Structure 1
Amino acid sequence: MSAPSVAIVSENRTVDRNSVHTRRLGLSPSAVWGLAALGVPRVVAHDLDLVGPELNTVLVFAPPLVWLVVVLARRVPSPLATLSVIGLAYGVLLAVTHQLLWSHAFDGDAPTLGGNFAGTLSPVWEQVVVRGFACVSSLVTGLAVGAVTGVVAWALSSVRSRTRG
Protein backbone atom coordinates (compact mmCIF):
# COMPACT_ATOMS: atom_id res chain seq x y z
CA MET A 1 0.00 0.00 0.00
CA SER A 2 1.59 3.27 -1.04
CA ALA A 3 1.42 6.56 0.79
CA PRO A 4 -1.30 8.95 -0.35
CA SER A 5 -0.12 11.33 -3.00
CA VAL A 6 -0.21 14.98 -2.03
CA ALA A 7 0.01 17.54 -4.80
CA ILE A 8 1.44 21.01 -4.36
CA VAL A 9 0.46 23.68 -6.85
CA SER A 10 3.15 26.28 -7.32
CA GLU A 11 3.75 28.76 -10.13
CA ASN A 12 1.08 27.14 -12.32
CA ARG A 13 2.58 23.68 -12.04
CA THR A 14 1.62 20.70 -9.93
CA VAL A 15 4.30 18.76 -8.10
CA ASP A 16 3.60 15.37 -6.57
CA ARG A 17 5.24 15.40 -3.14
CA ASN A 18 5.95 11.65 -3.32
CA SER A 19 7.76 12.06 -6.65
CA VAL A 20 9.91 14.84 -5.16
CA HIS A 21 10.97 12.55 -2.31
CA THR A 22 11.49 9.69 -4.73
CA ARG A 23 13.77 11.83 -6.92
CA ARG A 24 15.80 13.06 -3.94
CA LEU A 25 16.11 9.75 -2.12
CA GLY A 26 15.70 7.30 -4.99
CA LEU A 27 12.94 5.56 -3.01
CA SER A 28 9.31 6.37 -2.33
CA PRO A 29 8.22 7.28 1.22
CA SER A 30 6.41 3.95 1.49
CA ALA A 31 9.62 2.11 0.50
CA VAL A 32 11.57 4.07 3.14
CA TRP A 33 9.05 3.18 5.87
CA GLY A 34 8.82 -0.41 4.62
CA LEU A 35 12.57 -0.86 4.81
CA ALA A 36 12.66 0.78 8.25
CA ALA A 37 9.93 -1.59 9.44
CA LEU A 38 12.22 -4.56 8.77
CA GLY A 39 13.92 -3.68 12.07
CA VAL A 40 10.76 -3.87 14.19
CA PRO A 41 10.83 -7.68 14.72
CA ARG A 42 14.20 -7.36 16.46
CA VAL A 43 12.85 -4.67 18.77
CA VAL A 44 9.86 -6.82 19.70
CA ALA A 45 12.01 -9.94 20.12
CA HIS A 46 14.48 -8.02 22.29
CA ASP A 47 11.92 -6.23 24.46
CA LEU A 48 9.94 -9.41 25.08
CA ASP A 49 13.07 -11.58 25.39
CA LEU A 50 11.81 -13.99 22.73
CA VAL A 51 15.06 -15.06 21.04
CA GLY A 52 18.54 -16.15 21.96
CA PRO A 53 21.75 -14.31 21.07
CA GLU A 54 22.31 -16.09 17.74
CA LEU A 55 18.93 -15.22 16.25
CA ASN A 56 19.13 -11.74 17.79
CA THR A 57 22.39 -11.20 15.89
CA VAL A 58 20.63 -12.11 12.63
CA LEU A 59 17.76 -9.75 13.50
CA VAL A 60 20.26 -6.95 14.23
CA PHE A 61 22.24 -7.18 10.99
CA ALA A 62 19.69 -8.43 8.43
CA PRO A 63 17.63 -5.21 8.08
CA PRO A 64 20.60 -2.88 7.39
CA LEU A 65 22.00 -5.48 4.99
CA VAL A 66 18.67 -5.49 3.10
CA TRP A 67 18.69 -1.66 3.13
CA LEU A 68 22.20 -1.72 1.66
CA VAL A 69 21.28 -4.18 -1.10
CA VAL A 70 18.14 -2.22 -2.06
CA VAL A 71 19.94 1.13 -2.15
CA LEU A 72 22.81 -0.26 -4.23
CA ALA A 73 20.44 -2.10 -6.59
CA ARG A 74 18.31 1.01 -7.08
CA ARG A 75 21.40 3.21 -7.58
CA VAL A 76 19.91 6.00 -5.49
CA PRO A 77 21.36 9.50 -6.03
CA SER A 78 22.81 9.77 -2.51
CA PRO A 79 23.18 6.49 -0.58
CA LEU A 80 24.24 8.30 2.59
CA ALA A 81 21.19 10.59 2.59
CA THR A 82 18.77 7.81 1.66
CA LEU A 83 20.06 5.40 4.29
CA SER A 84 20.17 8.14 6.93
CA VAL A 85 16.48 8.82 6.27
CA ILE A 86 15.71 5.09 6.45
CA GLY A 87 17.67 4.95 9.71
CA LEU A 88 15.76 7.91 11.12
CA ALA A 89 12.46 6.23 10.19
CA TYR A 90 13.75 3.08 11.89
CA GLY A 91 14.57 5.18 14.96
CA VAL A 92 10.98 6.47 15.07
CA LEU A 93 9.65 2.91 14.85
CA LEU A 94 12.18 1.81 17.47
CA ALA A 95 11.05 4.55 19.86
CA VAL A 96 7.34 3.85 19.36
CA THR A 97 7.79 0.08 19.77
CA HIS A 98 9.88 0.48 22.93
CA GLN A 99 7.23 2.76 24.41
CA LEU A 100 4.42 0.33 23.55
CA LEU A 101 6.29 -2.62 25.06
CA TRP A 102 7.75 -0.70 28.02
CA SER A 103 5.78 -2.40 30.81
CA HIS A 104 6.33 -5.87 29.30
CA ALA A 105 10.04 -5.28 28.75
CA PHE A 106 10.66 -4.20 32.34
CA ASP A 107 8.04 -6.47 33.93
CA GLY A 108 6.92 -3.82 36.41
CA ASP A 109 10.49 -2.82 37.32
CA ALA A 110 10.96 0.18 35.03
CA PRO A 111 14.27 2.04 35.14
CA THR A 112 14.51 5.08 37.39
CA LEU A 113 16.84 8.02 37.74
CA GLY A 114 19.91 7.37 39.83
CA GLY A 115 22.80 9.24 41.38
CA ASN A 116 22.11 12.86 42.30
CA PHE A 117 18.75 12.67 40.52
CA ALA A 118 17.39 9.71 42.51
CA GLY A 119 14.15 10.65 44.26
CA THR A 120 14.19 14.29 43.14
CA LEU A 121 11.15 13.99 40.86
CA SER A 122 7.73 12.49 41.38
CA PRO A 123 7.42 8.96 39.95
CA VAL A 124 5.31 10.28 37.06
CA TRP A 125 7.86 12.94 36.06
CA GLU A 126 10.69 10.50 36.54
CA GLN A 127 9.06 8.15 34.02
CA VAL A 128 8.51 11.06 31.62
CA VAL A 129 12.24 11.86 31.80
CA VAL A 130 13.39 8.23 31.49
CA ARG A 131 11.02 7.48 28.63
CA GLY A 132 11.98 10.75 26.93
CA PHE A 133 15.64 9.79 27.05
CA ALA A 134 14.73 6.34 25.70
CA CYS A 135 12.98 8.01 22.73
CA VAL A 136 15.94 10.27 22.00
CA SER A 137 18.27 7.28 22.31
CA SER A 138 16.14 5.33 19.82
CA LEU A 139 16.20 8.18 17.30
CA VAL A 140 19.97 8.58 17.62
CA THR A 141 20.49 4.82 17.33
CA GLY A 142 18.34 4.62 14.20
CA LEU A 143 20.08 7.58 12.60
CA ALA A 144 23.51 6.14 13.47
CA VAL A 145 22.64 2.73 11.98
CA GLY A 146 21.37 4.44 8.83
CA ALA A 147 24.38 6.73 8.55
CA VAL A 148 26.92 3.92 9.05
CA THR A 149 25.09 1.80 6.48
CA GLY A 150 25.02 4.87 4.22
CA VAL A 151 28.78 5.32 4.46
CA VAL A 152 29.25 1.65 3.51
CA ALA A 153 26.84 2.08 0.57
CA TRP A 154 28.56 5.28 -0.53
CA ALA A 155 31.96 3.54 -0.44
CA LEU A 156 30.68 0.52 -2.36
CA SER A 157 28.94 2.66 -4.97
CA SER A 158 32.11 4.75 -5.38
CA VAL A 159 34.17 1.62 -5.95
CA ARG A 160 31.56 0.34 -8.40
CA SER A 161 31.65 3.65 -10.31
CA ARG A 162 35.46 3.60 -10.54
CA THR A 163 35.63 0.01 -11.75
CA ARG A 164 32.99 0.59 -14.43
CA GLY A 165 34.04 3.94 -15.67
Structure 2
Amino acid sequence: MRQEVKKGPGALRRSLGMPLPVIVALAALGVPRVVAHDLDLVGGGVNAVLVFGPVVIWIAVVLWRRLPNPFATLLAVGLVYGALLAVTHQILWNEAFGEDPPRLGGNLEGELSPAVESLVVRTFAFGSSVLTGVLVGVIAGAVGWLAARVLPGHGSR
Protein backbone atom coordinates (compact mmCIF):
# COMPACT_ATOMS: atom_id res chain seq x y z
CA MET A 1 0.00 0.00 0.00
CA ARG A 2 1.29 3.43 -0.98
CA GLN A 3 1.60 6.04 1.74
CA GLU A 4 -0.12 9.30 0.90
CA VAL A 5 2.03 12.43 1.00
CA LYS A 6 0.34 15.30 2.79
CA LYS A 7 0.53 18.65 1.05
CA GLY A 8 -0.22 22.13 2.25
CA PRO A 9 1.37 24.75 4.51
CA GLY A 10 2.72 22.11 6.87
CA ALA A 11 4.51 20.36 4.02
CA LEU A 12 6.12 23.63 2.95
CA ARG A 13 7.27 24.29 6.50
CA ARG A 14 8.72 20.80 6.78
CA SER A 15 10.59 21.07 3.49
CA LEU A 16 11.99 24.53 4.26
CA GLY A 17 12.58 23.95 7.97
CA MET A 18 10.83 27.13 9.11
CA PRO A 19 7.46 28.83 8.70
CA LEU A 20 6.77 31.09 5.73
CA PRO A 21 6.51 34.26 7.90
CA VAL A 22 10.10 33.68 9.06
CA ILE A 23 11.22 33.22 5.44
CA VAL A 24 9.52 36.53 4.55
CA ALA A 25 11.04 38.28 7.60
CA LEU A 26 14.53 37.12 6.65
CA ALA A 27 14.00 38.27 3.06
CA ALA A 28 12.71 41.64 4.28
CA LEU A 29 16.08 42.31 5.93
CA GLY A 30 17.32 43.18 2.43
CA VAL A 31 14.68 45.83 1.74
CA PRO A 32 16.50 48.73 3.49
CA ARG A 33 19.37 48.33 1.00
CA VAL A 34 16.94 48.56 -1.89
CA VAL A 35 15.40 51.74 -0.51
CA ALA A 36 18.81 53.24 0.31
CA HIS A 37 20.06 52.41 -3.20
CA ASP A 38 17.01 53.69 -5.08
CA LEU A 39 16.92 56.93 -3.11
CA ASP A 40 20.73 57.30 -3.15
CA LEU A 41 20.85 57.62 0.64
CA VAL A 42 24.11 55.85 1.48
CA GLY A 43 27.43 54.95 -0.01
CA GLY A 44 30.57 53.00 0.69
CA GLY A 45 30.78 51.12 3.96
CA VAL A 46 27.14 51.52 4.96
CA ASN A 47 26.04 50.15 1.60
CA ALA A 48 28.34 47.13 2.03
CA VAL A 49 26.75 46.38 5.40
CA LEU A 50 23.28 46.69 3.86
CA VAL A 51 24.31 44.38 1.00
CA PHE A 52 26.09 41.63 2.92
CA GLY A 53 24.58 41.93 6.41
CA PRO A 54 21.22 40.34 5.56
CA VAL A 55 22.85 37.44 3.70
CA VAL A 56 25.18 36.75 6.64
CA ILE A 57 22.14 36.75 8.93
CA TRP A 58 20.29 34.34 6.60
CA ILE A 59 23.19 31.90 6.71
CA ALA A 60 23.65 32.29 10.48
CA VAL A 61 19.96 31.54 11.07
CA VAL A 62 19.94 28.33 9.03
CA LEU A 63 23.11 27.17 10.76
CA TRP A 64 21.83 28.13 14.22
CA ARG A 65 18.51 26.35 13.60
CA ARG A 66 20.38 23.33 12.15
CA LEU A 67 17.94 23.07 9.29
CA PRO A 68 17.85 19.84 7.30
CA ASN A 69 18.22 21.57 3.93
CA PRO A 70 19.89 25.00 4.19
CA PHE A 71 20.10 25.28 0.41
CA ALA A 72 16.33 24.95 -0.13
CA THR A 73 15.59 27.31 2.76
CA LEU A 74 17.94 30.02 1.52
CA LEU A 75 16.76 29.59 -2.05
CA ALA A 76 13.23 30.29 -0.77
CA VAL A 77 14.49 33.33 1.17
CA GLY A 78 16.23 34.55 -2.00
CA LEU A 79 13.09 34.10 -4.08
CA VAL A 80 11.03 36.14 -1.61
CA TYR A 81 13.84 38.70 -1.42
CA GLY A 82 13.78 38.98 -5.21
CA ALA A 83 10.02 39.59 -5.18
CA LEU A 84 10.42 42.25 -2.47
CA LEU A 85 13.30 43.79 -4.43
CA ALA A 86 11.16 43.90 -7.59
CA VAL A 87 8.14 45.45 -5.87
CA THR A 88 10.25 48.01 -4.00
CA HIS A 89 12.05 49.07 -7.19
CA GLN A 90 8.68 49.53 -8.91
CA ILE A 91 7.31 51.60 -6.02
CA LEU A 92 10.40 53.83 -5.96
CA TRP A 93 10.84 53.97 -9.76
CA ASN A 94 9.91 57.65 -10.19
CA GLU A 95 11.97 58.76 -7.18
CA ALA A 96 14.97 56.78 -8.39
CA PHE A 97 14.93 57.98 -12.01
CA GLY A 98 13.00 61.26 -11.89
CA GLU A 99 12.63 62.75 -15.34
CA ASP A 100 15.24 60.44 -16.89
CA PRO A 101 13.89 56.87 -16.69
CA PRO A 102 15.66 54.03 -18.51
CA ARG A 103 14.79 53.78 -22.18
CA LEU A 104 15.11 51.16 -24.86
CA GLY A 105 18.01 51.52 -27.25
CA GLY A 106 19.21 49.91 -30.44
CA ASN A 107 16.56 48.95 -33.00
CA LEU A 108 13.75 49.69 -30.54
CA GLU A 109 14.85 53.23 -29.71
CA GLY A 110 11.93 55.55 -30.38
CA GLU A 111 9.84 52.78 -31.99
CA LEU A 112 7.34 52.29 -29.16
CA SER A 113 4.99 54.70 -27.46
CA PRO A 114 6.35 55.99 -24.15
CA ALA A 115 3.74 53.96 -22.22
CA VAL A 116 4.62 50.69 -23.97
CA GLU A 117 8.33 51.40 -23.66
CA SER A 118 7.92 52.03 -19.94
CA LEU A 119 5.94 48.79 -19.56
CA VAL A 120 8.65 46.80 -21.36
CA VAL A 121 11.49 48.32 -19.33
CA ARG A 122 9.64 47.91 -16.03
CA THR A 123 8.72 44.30 -16.85
CA PHE A 124 12.33 43.41 -17.55
CA ALA A 125 13.46 45.28 -14.43
CA PHE A 126 10.94 43.27 -12.38
CA GLY A 127 12.19 39.99 -13.81
CA SER A 128 15.80 41.02 -13.31
CA SER A 129 15.12 41.77 -9.65
CA VAL A 130 13.49 38.40 -9.06
CA LEU A 131 16.39 36.66 -10.83
CA THR A 132 18.87 38.63 -8.71
CA GLY A 133 17.12 37.49 -5.54
CA VAL A 134 17.13 33.87 -6.69
CA LEU A 135 20.85 34.06 -7.50
CA VAL A 136 21.59 35.58 -4.08
CA GLY A 137 19.55 32.74 -2.56
CA VAL A 138 21.49 30.13 -4.57
CA ILE A 139 24.85 31.54 -3.47
CA ALA A 140 23.77 31.93 0.16
CA GLY A 141 22.23 28.46 0.04
CA ALA A 142 25.42 26.92 -1.31
CA VAL A 143 27.46 28.63 1.41
CA GLY A 144 24.95 27.54 4.08
CA TRP A 145 24.87 23.98 2.78
CA LEU A 146 28.66 23.76 2.70
CA ALA A 147 29.02 25.34 6.15
CA ALA A 148 26.47 22.89 7.58
CA ARG A 149 28.59 20.02 6.24
CA VAL A 150 31.90 21.22 7.66
CA LEU A 151 30.96 22.82 10.98
CA PRO A 152 31.21 20.57 14.04
CA GLY A 153 27.86 19.31 15.26
CA HIS A 154 26.06 19.90 11.97
CA GLY A 155 27.21 16.79 10.08
CA SER A 156 25.58 15.48 6.93
CA ARG A 157 21.94 14.61 7.02
TM-score of the superposition, structure 1-length normalised?
0.87
Question: After the TM superposition, which of the residue ranges 39-48 and 16-25 deviates more from structure 2?
Answer: 16-25
Q: 1:77 and 1:94 mapped to 2: Cα distance?
A: 27
Counterpart of 1:110 (choices 89, 94, 101) is 101
Look up the equivalent residue of 1:69 and give its one-letter code. A
Q: 2:95 and 2:48 mapped to 1: Cα distance?
A: 22
Look up the equivalent residue of 2:110 and give its one-letter code. G
Question: After the TM superposition, which of the residue ranges 18-27 and 126-135 deviates more from structure 2?
Answer: 18-27
Q: 2:8 and 2:56 mapped to 1: Cα distance?
A: 28
Question: Deviation at 1:19?
Answer: 2.4
Question: Deviation at 1:154?
Answer: 0.7
Look up the equivalent residue of 2:130 and give its one-letter code. L
> Map of 1:6-17 to 2, 5 A cutoff?
17=8
CA-atom RMSD, angstroms? 1.8
Q: Is 1:131 the equivalent of 2:122?
A: yes
**Could you tell me which residue of structure 2 aligns to residue 120 of structure 1?**
111
Question: After the TM superposition, which of the residue ranges 123-132 and 152-161 deviates more from structure 2?
Answer: 152-161
Provide Cα deviations, 1:56-114, integer angstroms capped at 9, x if missing partner.
11100000100000011111121111101100000000000000000000012100001
Counterpart of 1:73 (choices 50, 54, 64) is 64
Question: Deviation at 1:53?
Answer: 1.7
Question: Deviation at 1:31?
Answer: 0.2
Q: Is 1:146 the equivalent of 2:147?
A: no
Sequence identity percentage: 53
**Could you tell me which residue of structure 1 aligns to residue 26 of structure 2?**
35
Classify 1:132/1:17 alpha carbon distance in 2 versus 1 (closer, same or farther; 3 Å). same
Question: Deviation at 1:16?
Answer: 8.3
Higher normalized contact order (CA 8 Å, seq sep 6+, divided by chain length): 2
Preserved CA contact (<8 Å) 2:23 2:77: yes
SS at match of 1:32: helix
**Could you tell me which residue of structure 2 aligns to residue 54 of structure 1?**
45
Preserved CA contact (<8 Å) 2:148 2:154: no
Classify 1:151/1:164 alpha carbon distance in 2 versus 1 (closer, same or farther; 3 Å). closer
**Could you tell me which residue of structure 1 aligns to residue 13 of structure 2?**
22
SS at match of 1:33: helix
Moved over 3 A (4+): 15-18, 161-165
Stretches of structure 2 lacking an aligned partner (at least 5 in a row) = none
Question: Deviation at 1:18?
Answer: 3.2
TM-score of the superposition, structure 2-length normalised?
0.91
Question: Deviation at 1:28?
Answer: 0.3
Q: Is 1:101 the equivalent of 2:87?
A: no
